[in-house]
Structures are given as structure tokens and as C-alpha cells.
Structure 1
Amino acid sequence: MARINDVGGMQGFGPIDTADESEPFHADWEARVFALNCTLIAGKVYNLDEFRDAIESMAPAEYLAASYYERWFFAIRTLLERKGVIEAGELDD
């Protein structure tokens, strides 16, 4: 069964933005999410395969509405809850 992120061969998503931006992040929170993910993987809280799977488990509508780092944050929250590091819903606010 294909997941929403598997869009190979699909059409209708519009043109790809190929603008070359000099900054790697659009907002400070994105850099924090990136650093948090790197720290959690390095600390062996979860691995890259688990992280990718968590992103791919997003509901299709949520996945399509989310930005790149919103997907990352969803995966981090999901994995921390699955592993009992945080309580379910603890980071919802």
C-alpha cells in the first residue's frame, strides 16, 4: 500500500519551486527542530528509519498541508510519545 509521500508518477501538484535561497531555514523554529532531531538520533532515542516511518505515517491531508519541518516535528512528537519519553499530547500547545 502506497503512502501519501509516495507520489512518484502523480500529477497535479503544480510547479516545483527551484528558487535558490541562501538560508537553510525560513524561521528559527525550523533550525531548532533540525537540531532536536539530530540530537535525538545521535542519542539513540530513535533512528533514521523510525523517523522516516513516522513522517510517512501522517494522515494524507495533514501531510499535504504541512511544511517540511512541520512534518519533522510531527515525527519527533510521535516517536517521543511511542517511546514513552513524553506523555501523549504533552507538546500539543
Structure 2
Amino acid sequence: MARINDVGGMQGFGPVDTADDGEPFHADWEARVFALNRTLVAQGVFNLDEFRDAIESMPPADYLAASYYERWLHAITTLLERKGHLAPGDLDEPAAPDGLDG
């Protein structure tokens, strides 16, 4: 069974953008997601096979609408819920920035 990430040979996705601006992250939150993933893998919370599977198991519409690091965040959240470190819905409400929560 092919998953949405396996688009080899499929038509209709347009050309691949091969431009490289040299920036690994385009926003601070992307760097944080990257660091969080590295830490959770290093601590044995989940492994890279589980992480990849969580990304590849995203609903197709969500996968196609998400950026690279949005997919990573989805996988991290999914795995933390699956393993009981987060209750489903714990991250539905965005946290107030430090010092702004009454």
C-alpha cells in the first residue's frame, strides 16, 4: 500500500524546487521542533522508525497541507500521545507566551 509521501512517478505535483537558500530553519519554532525531536530520540522516548511512520501515517490532506517541520511536530505530538506522555488534546490550546498569561 502506497502512502501519501510516496509520490514517485505521480503526476500533478508540479516541479521540484531545488533552490537552496542555505538556511536550515526559516522560523525559530522549526529549530525548536528539530531540537525537541533530537532530545526525545536521544532519551529513548521514541525511535526514528516510529517517527518516520508517524509522519507517513498522516492523513493525506494533512500531509500535503503541512510544511516539513509541521509534519515533524505532528509526528512528535502523535508519538507522545500514543506513548502516554501527553493526553489527547493537551496541545490543542496554544500556550500563552512567557509573562503574558494573566
TM over 0.5: yes
The corresponding residue for 1:48 is 48
Q: Quote the residue 1:73 is aligned against.
A: 73
Structure 1 runs of 4+ with >3 Å offset: none
- 2: CA distance, partners of 1:23 / 1:3: 29
Identity of aligned residues (%): 80
Structure possessing the higher radius of gyration over alpha carbons:
2
Taking structure 2 as the reference length, what is the TM-score of the superposition? 0.88
Count of equivalent residues: 93
Q: What is the CA-CA distance between 1:50 and the residue it aligns to?
A: 0.2
Matched, 1:21 2:15: no
Q: Which residue does 2:91 correspond to in 1?
A: 91
Counterpart residue type for residue 54 of structure 1: A
Long gaps (5+) in structure 2:
94-102
Structure-1 separation of matches of 2:20 and 2:45: 34
Is 2:92 the counterpart of 1:58? no
Cα separation, 2, equivalents of 1:6 and 1:17: 17
Which structure would you say has the larger RCO, counting Cα contacts within 8 Å and 6 or more residues apart?
Answer: 1
CA distance in 1, matches of 2:54, 2:92: 17
* Alignment-mate amino acid for residue 32 of structure 1: R
Inter-partner Cα distance in structure 1 for 2:40 and 2:29: 16
Give the aligned partner of residue 34 of structure 1: 34
What's the offset of the Cα at 1:22? Answer: 2.0
Counterpart CA distance in 2 for 1:44 and 1:80 is: 12
Superposition deviation, residue 56 in structure 1: 0.7
Q: Secondary structure at the match of 1:61?
A: helix
